[in-house]
Structure 1
Amino acid sequence: MKLQNLAKIAAVATLTVSALSASYTMAADGKVYRLTMAETWNANFPIFGDAPRNMARIADEMSGGRLKITIDSANKHKAPLGVFDLVRSGQYDMGHSASYYWKGKVPNTLYFTTMPFGMTTPEQYGWFYYGGGQSLMNKVYEPFGLLSFPGGNTGNQMGGWFQKEINSVEDLQGLKMRIPGFAGEVLAKLGAKPTNIASGELFTALERRTIDALEWVGPSLDLRMGFHKIAPYYYTGWHEPATELQFLVNARTWKKLPDDLREILRTAMRVSSYDMYIQSYHESAENWATMKQEFPDIQVKTFPESVMKAMYKANQELLAEKASEDPLAKEILDSQAEYLAKARVWTNISDRAYLDSLDNLED
């Protein structure tokens, strides 16, 4: 190779390195974007509170310090179930909560947390990221100047803590239970009296008999809340097979961010969300393994078949009502049903078939 060609290559390489160096310097010395976030959870609340903090840390590290997110817990901003309004008004740039808390303001938000008898966590993530779920969520939140992203999954939740055993549908009559979302509407249809209470008030409400029962999450979080001291009957789930929290972002804030920081924020939210699912699964497995030994008075129950059938029937009737009343609700529910029908076939011939095949191996 001629010396002049080598010189040209060296010059181009030098210019390229200089350009990359200059680009890095501009990024490192560029504007620092400082965002604020309001979370529904109290300070130091495990797992739920870990997800937004992991997200903020990842965003900070990936951006080289150009994206800083400060998180205020519910005990500071004093509005655990008011995060929607805090972010919409611009008082906070972001929020971490659960979409079904806003059903009283925007009914179609409730479908993006979980649905009774619906998708499992892998199925739901498939719907969000590849089956059109995110686009439909955008359609619901955009009119309010908000963006919503998956914010961490608990996996299949337990059916709740009850002070009295549930033996029939009649036992649901007048039952005062903390249970949010669509499941609350299902129980109301069967005669119960559902209510929603912030996490920090749950134990006191159960202890003072303001409520007769409650559902929270599962062993990952329930045992440390002390519910077993008041309500010994612990029922398996039906109502929240895949509970996805949410990151809310004010649309004006989003538009002000450079393209690279938007992508960093999007990635940080996605990574921290899936990590919360892994953490929640691990903690539930750990706590379940020790539950019977440390808390022998807890009685794990499954709802009787007659109760399950009644809840399923009420759920199907309510779904039909919602779809008939609102075209957007119908679009969301149809999308979920179509995706579930397809995904569940694979779930059955993969996970379910594998687990069923293990049942008799140790006999």
Structure 2
Amino acid sequence: MLKSLYKKTLVAAVVMVTSVNVFAADKVYRLKLAESWGPNFPVFGDSVKNMVKMAEEMSNGRLKIRVDSANKHKSAFGVFDMVKSGQYDMGHSASYYYKGKVPNTLYFTTMPFGMTAMEQYAWFQYGGGQELMDEVYAPHNLVAFPGGNTGVQMGGWFRKEINNLDDLKNLKMRIPGFAGEVLAKLGATPVNIPPGELYTALERNTIDALEWVGPSLDLRMGFHKIAPFYYMGWHEPATELMFIINKKKLDSLPADLQAILKVAMHKASYDMYVQSYASSAENWAEMTSEFPDIKVKTFPAEVLTAMKKANDEILSEKAASDEMAAKIIKSQQDYLKLVRVWTDISEFGYIQSTKE
């Protein structure tokens, strides 16, 4: 009789454990994500949608992520705080938007005269960049991951041609991040304005110039209708957006869902770079054929030299006053020296040697 009872108890235990495991496997985990962009924002917003779709599909529906755009949460530049506080579980934004709050976040978007997109991805994944980003975000209960790259950004739209350094004096320009500090050192007035307000600010003379992204997004924004001078880039050679996650929330997910989420972010990040590259090529062709009044310019050598000098001086000042900044700056500069030799031989060398 005891033997029979033991068997019944064992069978009941197996059934119970199996039921628990099935229940756990079927449990749906719901996350909320705040993005800095408006609803259906092209390219940037597509990166978020792609990540959400992949995460749900790879998890067989166990991981569902609700996306709130800036028009809903009303704080395009508040994503960092909302995720840190737990109001949202995740965010999609740009790291350099938060330099006023955590100065060392700005290095993980892009740096003037710095690495290209592929060089920077190599730094993130194989040169210690991700580990440094982890170190900066950890005190805020956050984990950040690359969230999509625009590639080389254009230098901006200007109402008037820039012929010399004096033309930068008192120029009010929308330009975030480190580049804003460089222009400020040269006498300009940098401001940061949410994406949805850029055209209006330019139209109403609130600003004299702005940089946004490049042909992939600029053409549809209509900036060329107001500011016809379109300058080549110098300030953002590899603009990387970011996914940020509340670390406690990430740790609370089952291990397989954590892995799925990271893979989805990684894939969405690269996909955005490819989409941005393709869109820029298509839109550049349209711009040059449909809008011949757009005047594509390169900044004068005098201006570029002054920008580079100002950039180097600011980097030296930041490295001298902040140990973590010094660590990040050194890592980026050392990696650029290493990787640029190969870029010159491979990418640049190939283009130069096969140009007709």
TM-score by length of 1: 0.92
CA RMSD after TM alignment: 1.3
| Cα distance in 2, alignment partners of residues 275 and 245 from structure 1 | 12
Shift of 1:292: 1.6
Alpha-carbon distance change, 24 to 354 in structure 1, aligned in 2, over 3 angstroms = farther
The 3-state SS of whatever aligns with 2:182 is helix
Shift of 1:27: 5.8
Deviation by residue 1:260-290 (Cα, 9 ceiling, x = unmatched): 1110000000000000000000000000011
Match of 1:65 among 53, 61, 64: 61
Please tell me whether residue 296 in structure 1 is matched to residue 292 in structure 2: yes
Match of 1:280 among 262, 276, 280: 276
| Cα distance in 2, alignment partners of residues 161 and 24 from structure 1 | 58
| Cα distance in 1, alignment partners of residues 82 and 171 from structure 2 | 32
Deviation by residue 1:75-128 (Cα, 9 ceiling, x = unmatched): 000000111111111000000000000000000000000000000000000000
The residue type equivalent to 1:332 in the other structure is I
Alpha-carbon distance change, 128 to 42 in structure 1, aligned in 2, over 3 angstroms = same
Q: Find the counterpart in structure 2 of residue 265 from structure 1.
A: 261
| Cα distance in 2, alignment partners of residues 336 and 248 from structure 1 | 21
Native 8 Å contact 1:207 1:230 kept in 2: yes
Shift of 1:44: 0.9
Deviation by residue 1:233-271 (Cα, 9 ceiling, x = unmatched): 000000000000000101111110111111000000000
The residue type equivalent to 1:220 in the other structure is S
The residue type equivalent to 2:190 in the other structure is P
Q: Find the counterpart in structure 2 of residue 42 from structure 1.
A: 38
Please tell me whether residue 226 in structure 1 is matched to residue 222 in structure 2: yes
Match of 1:158 among 154, 164, 179: 154
Question: How do 1:187-336 and structure 2 match up within 5 A?
Answer: 187-336=183-332
Q: Find the counterpart in structure 2 of residue 80 from structure 1.
A: 76
Q: Once the two structures are aligned, what percentage of the paired residues are identical?
A: 68
Q: Can you give the 5+ residue segments of structure 2 that lack an aligned partner in the other structure?
A: 1-17
Q: Can you give the 5+ residue segments of structure 1 that lack an aligned partner in the other structure?
A: 1-20
TM-score by length of 2: 0.94
Deviation by residue 1:289-327 (Cα, 9 ceiling, x = unmatched): 111211111000000111000000000000000000000
| Cα distance in 2, alignment partners of residues 353 and 126 from structure 1 | 19
The residue type equivalent to 2:208 in the other structure is D
The residue type equivalent to 1:108 in the other structure is N
| Cα distance in 1, alignment partners of residues 108 and 205 from structure 2 | 31
Q: Find the counterpart in structure 1 of residue 112 from structure 2.
A: 116
Shift of 1:28: 4.5
Q: Find the counterpart in structure 2 of residue 4 from structure 1.
A: none
The residue type equivalent to 1:68 in the other structure is K
Shift of 1:358: 2.3
